[in-house]
């Protein structure tokens, strides 16, 4: 269909279905399309030269903005809860309260550190966070074609915006749903705003933001991108959906999780650190 589908990273359970969805979306035209993407480990790289890249949270966890003692505590949380996040042998309803526990404990620790808003740009600049190869084409192409991009992240909104801004691709067609920091009058972190978004409540987050989807009513064709099975619910607020094409990055625990990813994502990209395939799909649709 498109040359990028011959890449060795690409797996599909039903290529014919993918072709049908793409043809239907291309026929409807790019002015009917919206893109909804996760951030951490979807728009950003999972690894570079064999080394793990940080999530929004990890950018802070690894920075000078938190004390050594706090670093250890955050690392302990990561070592406890990340294996649970990616364990596909445990049902979501069992994992959900544990994920709430992780986010809540981590946010409480970060708040204790009295992090200053002014310091965020520097820690992002000094971090190892990287957008996936092909990001420039991805962001610029969506902007040029006036296709709205919703970044829906259980990470930290202030941090992810900074990553995108520093890469010079934070265009006006982007909206973000995420956990935003609440700073006091002196610019010191005092809490996180609004309802917590964690890995398994993106459906609730989507429904809370119904106004956004109402505005995009004329765009019933959705390209969804994620790296977790929880990301599949990001489009639950889309109104009058006609087609949805789901692209999933399978970064970790590949053998254990491949079947469940193939069952739920239309296109699965195995250990693919690039946006080459999503870009190929977008070029086809526009």
Binding site for Mg ion (CB under 5 A): 38, 40-42, 227
Task: Give me 100's structure tokens.
Answer: 């709430």
* Distance between CA atoms of residues 210 and 208, nearest Å: 6
Residue 132 binds ligand C5P, judged by CB under 6 A: no
Alpha helix positions (H), 128-169: 135-144, 157-166
Secondary structure (DSSP) of 160-187: HHHHHHHTT---TTEEEEEE-EEE-TTS
- Binder to ligand C5P among 154, 159, 238, 281 (CB under 6 A)? 154
Residue 153 binds ligand C5P, judged by CB under 6 A: yes
Q: Decide if 190 contacts 110 (C-beta within 8 A).
A: no
Selection from ligand C5P, Mg ion, none that 139 binds (CB < 5 to 8 A by kind) is none
Selection from Mg ion, ligand C5P, none that 57 binds (CB < 5 to 8 A by kind) is ligand C5P
Residue 34 binds ligand C5P, judged by CB under 6 A: no
Residue 58 binds ligand C5P, judged by CB under 6 A: yes
Task: Give me 260's structure tokens.
Answer: 């469940």
Name which of residues 62 to 81 contact ligand C5P (CB under 6 A). Answer: 78
Least separation, in Å, of the C-beta of 250 and Mg ion? Answer: 12
Active site residue 38: yes
Q: At what angle do helices 15-28 and 276-285 cross, to 10 degrees?
A: 50
Name which of residues 82 to 101 contact ligand C5P (CB under 6 A). Answer: 82, 85
Residue 102 binds ligand C5P, judged by CB under 6 A: yes
Q: At what angle do helices 68-85 and 92-112 cross, to 10 degrees?
A: 170
Catalytic residues: 38, 40
């Amino acid at each position: 269909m498109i040359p990028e589908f011959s890449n060795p990273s690409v797996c599909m359970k039903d290529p014919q279905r993918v072709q049908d969805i793409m043809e239907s979306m291309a026929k409807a035209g790019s002015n009917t399309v919206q893109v909804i993407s996760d951030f951490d480990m979807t728009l950003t790289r999972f690894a570079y030269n064999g080394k793990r890249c940080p999530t929004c949270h990890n950018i802070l966890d690894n920075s000078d903005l938190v004390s050594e003692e706090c670093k250890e505590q955050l690392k302990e949380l990561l070592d406890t809860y990340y294996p649970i996040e990616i364990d596909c042998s445990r049902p979501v309803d069992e994992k959900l309260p544990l994920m709430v526990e992780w986010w809540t404990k981590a946010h409480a620790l970060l708040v204790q550190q009295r992090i200053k808003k002014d310091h965020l740009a520097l820690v992002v600049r000094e971090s190892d966070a990287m957008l996936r190869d092909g990001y420039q084409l991805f962001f610029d192409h969506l902007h040029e074609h006036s296709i709205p991009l919703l970044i829906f992240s259980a990470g930290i909104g202030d941090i992810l915006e900074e990553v995108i801004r520093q890469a010079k691709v934070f265009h006006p067609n982007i909206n973000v749903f995420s956990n935003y920091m609440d700073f006091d009058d002196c610019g010191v972190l005092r809490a996180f705003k609004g309802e917590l978004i964690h890995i398994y409540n993106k459906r609730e987050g989507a429904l809370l933001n119904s106004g956004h989807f109402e505005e995009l009513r004329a765009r019933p064709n959705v390209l969804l991108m994620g790296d977790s099975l929880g990301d599949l619910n990001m489009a639950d607020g889309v109104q009058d959906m006609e087609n949805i094409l789901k692209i999933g990055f399978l970064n970790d625990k590949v053998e254990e999780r491949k079947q469940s990813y193939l069952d739920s994502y239309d296109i699965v990209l195995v250990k693919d650190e690039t946006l080459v395939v999503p870009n190929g799909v977008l070029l086809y649709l526009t």
